[in-house]
Amino acid sequence: MEVLLYHSAPSPVRLRLAEKKTSSQSLLPSAGEKTQVLFSLSSSSSSSVYSRKHYLVNNTYQQDVAGSLNSIRSHRVSPIRAFNESFSGTVLGGEQSLEDVSDSADSVPKVQIPGLPDESKGESSAPISSCYWEWKPKLNVHYAKAGSQNVNSPPLLFLPGFGVGSFHYEKQLKDLGRDYRVWALDFLGQGKSLPVEDPAPLLKEASPSEQKDKAWGFGEKAEPWAEKLVYSVDLWKDQVQYFIEQVIGEPVYVVGNSLGGYVATYFAASNPELVKGVTLLNATPFWGFLPNSSKSPLLAKMFPWAGTFPLPPNVTKFMDIVWQKMSDPETIAELLRQVYADHTTDVNKVFSKIVEVTEHPAAAAAFASIMCAPTGQFSFNESLSRCRESNVPVCLMYGKEDPWVKPIWGQQVKKQLPDAPYYEMSPAGHCPHDEVPEVVNYLLRGWIKSLESNSSVTLPLLNDAEAQAKKYDLTKDVEFVREGSEKLVRVRFFGSQFSLWKLLKSQIKVRLQKVGMNPR
pLDDT tens readout for residues 340-353: 999 899 999 999 99
Confidence category of residue 506, pLDDT binned at 50, 70, 90:
low
Q: What percent of the chain has pLDDT over 90?
A: 60
Instruction: Identify the residue with better confidence: 246 or 213.
Output: 246
pLDDT score of 422 more than 80: yes
pLDDT of residue 469: 60
pLDDT score of 316 more than 60: yes
Instruction: Identify the residue with better confidence: 169 or 300.
Output: 169
Mean pLDDT to the nearest integer, 278-300:
89
Confidence category of residue 3, pLDDT binned at 50, 70, 90:
very low
Instruction: Return the bridge partners of 146, or none.
Output: 182
Domains for the chain: give ranges and CATH numbers: 106-194+233-296+378-515 (3.40.50.1820)
The Cα–Cα gap between 212 and 197 comes to 13
The Cα–Cα gap between 346 and 69 comes to 7
pLDDT of residue 92: 33
The Cα–Cα gap between 259 and 242 comes to 19
The Cα–Cα gap between 233 and 367 comes to 13
Residue type, 389: E
The Cα–Cα gap between 393 and 384 comes to 11
The count of other CB atoms within 10 Å of the CB of residue 228 is 10
- Whether residue 365 contacts residue 309, with contact meaning beta carbons closer than 8 Å, is answered with yes
Confidence category of residue 500, pLDDT binned at 50, 70, 90:
low
- Whether residue 288 contacts residue 259, with contact meaning beta carbons closer than 8 Å, is answered with no
Closest CA to 71 of 79, 61, 80: 61
- Whether residue 376 contacts residue 287, with contact meaning beta carbons closer than 8 Å, is answered with yes
Instruction: Return the bridge partners of 477, or none.
Output: 110, 490
Confidence category of residue 283, pLDDT binned at 50, 70, 90:
very high
Parallel/antiparallel/unpaired status of strands 91-92 and 36-41: unpaired
pLDDT tens readout for residues 99-136: 344 444 458 999 999 999 998 888 999 999 999 999 99
The Cα–Cα gap between 184 and 14 comes to 33
**With b meaning 16 or more CB within 10 Å and e meaning fewer, what string describes 283-292?**
bbbebbebbb
pLDDT tens readout for residues 230-242: 999 999 999 999 9
Q: What percent of the chain has pLDDT over 70?
A: 72
Asked which of 110-114, 200-204, 239-243, 259-263 is least confident by mean pLDDT, the reply is 200-204
Residue type, 188: L
Asked if the peptide bond before residue 460 counts as cis, ω within 30 degrees of 0, the response is: no
Integer distance in angstroms from the first to the last C-alpha of the chain?
Answer: 51
pLDDT tens readout for residues 442-491: 999 999 999 999 989 999 999 877 766 656 688 999 999 998 899 999 99
Instruction: Identify the residue with better confidence: 52 or 154.
Output: 154
pLDDT score of 6 more than 60: no
